[in-house]
Amino acid sequence: MLKPPRPVHYFAVFLQVFGSLFQNLKGATMSTVVVEELHVPNKGSQLCCRNERPERGCGNAPRKTKNTVKTSFAGKMKKPRKVVPDGAEVFSSPVTPKRCDWITSHSDPVHVAFHDEEWGVPVHDDRKLFELLVLSQALAELTWPAILHNRDMFRKLFDNFNPDSVSKFTEKTISELKATRNIMLSEPKLRAIVENSRQMLKVQQECGSFNNYCWGFVNNKPVRNGHRYVRQVPVKTSKAEAMSKDLMQRGFRCVGPTVVYSFMQASGIVNDHLSSCFRYHECHSIAKMVSQSRKEDTNLPEELEKTSLSAD
């Protein structure tokens, strides 16, 4: 009796064929190319290659090679260093100090010098105070650079800002000054300067000095605001308004709160340098030194008087 034919399992045949192919691929040999890094001093890094012996596979399949490249960088590239020969001079660019923001690289050198040397420094000389008051009044018509460029001319016309000499100006003198084109001041400003010099003499007789009068509004101690930004700097304050009101009651002219506050800033009665400006701390140090020296000068006559009394 014949047996029926066995059914063909196509899936089993597929697995058998696929298995043989997989064995052939598995037995193939592979070789790798290893990239090494060689360091050559002072000439950067170079790369070279060497072939390793191909690995022996499993089975009797023919050998095959597969090239793979591996790259690597050992560390970061160093920037070249600049070597200065022995004995050579090294010149470094000068460091620009930090100033108030209204002083820029395009500012007039005269204005920069005024900011670095005078503006905000405490002034206790009556002539100097009178000069700064006059210059602050001129700000209503001129700018600081224009005023500072003509400062020597102002000193010559007003006898080095001697209030006693200016108080003696007559109508003829004022007319001559008015005719001078270089003076750059209007007639009301000229008349105000002459009248203020006369009133200043009266203040000196009453208070001992114009310095005592001005610094009395801040108890003889400079006001330190320490603003960080220009927008925080005021154009007038309550102390400036108080001084302005008293000056006008005494007969001074053109001394509004804005003019008076500009005068207080320039004469160091108020330290309005920005806190980031190098002159902010310098002016404070100068103020402390001046205050200490003035105290010593004030105490000296008292000590001499006590010494003379003890001797008697």
Mean pLDDT rounded to a whole number for the chain = 79
Consult the annotation and say whether 277 binds a ligand.
yes
pLDDT(264) > 90: yes
Coil, helix or strand for 47? strand
Residue type at 214?
C
Task: Answer whether residue 31 shows pLDDT above 80.
Answer: no
**Confidence (pLDDT) at 146:** 95
What pLDDT was estimated at residue 177? 85
For residue 281, say whether it is annotated as part of any ligand binding site.
Answer: no
Whether 115 has a binding-site annotation, put simply, is yes
pLDDT in tens, 76-95: 555 656 555 655 565 555 67
**Mean of the pLDDT values across residues 179-194?**
86
Cα 241 to Cα 135, 172, 225, 265: the distances in Å are 19, 34, 17, 14
Residue 265, SS3 per DSSP: helix
The answer, yes or no, to whether residue 30 has pLDDT greater than 60, is no
Q: Would the pLDDT of 143 be above 80? A: yes
Q: Which helix (H) or strand (E) holds 224?
A: strand 223-224
Q: How far is the C-alpha of 128 from the C-alpha of 14, rounded, in Å? A: 112
Query: Is the pLDDT reported for residue 267 higher than 70?
Result: yes
Distances (CA, A) of 135 to 101, 154, 168, 200, 210: 22, 9, 20, 16, 16
Q: Where are the alpha helices (DSSP H) in 180-277?
A: 187-207, 210-215, 238-249, 257-266
Residue-level pLDDT at 71: 47
**Of all residues in the chain, what percent carry a pLDDT higher than 70?**
65
Cβ-contact 306, 290 below 8 angstroms: no
| 273 annotated ligand binder | yes
Confidence of residue 46 (pLDDT cuts 50, 70, 90): very low
Q: What is the CATH class of 114-292?
A: mainly alpha
* Choice between 11 and 53, residue whose per-residue pLDDT is larger: 11
In tens, the pLDDT along 98-142 reads 999 999 999 999 999 999 999 999 999 999 999 999 999 999 999
pLDDT at 163 over 70: yes
Distance CA 29, CA 34 (A): 16
Q: Would you state the pLDDT for residue 6? A: 57
- The torsion angles phi and psi of 141, rounded to 5 degrees, stand at -120, -20
pLDDT of residue 27: 57
* Residue 179, pLDDT score: 81
For residue 173, pLDDT beyond 60:
yes
Compute the average pLDDT of residues 244-249: 97
For 277, phi and psi rounded to 5 degrees?
A: -80, 140
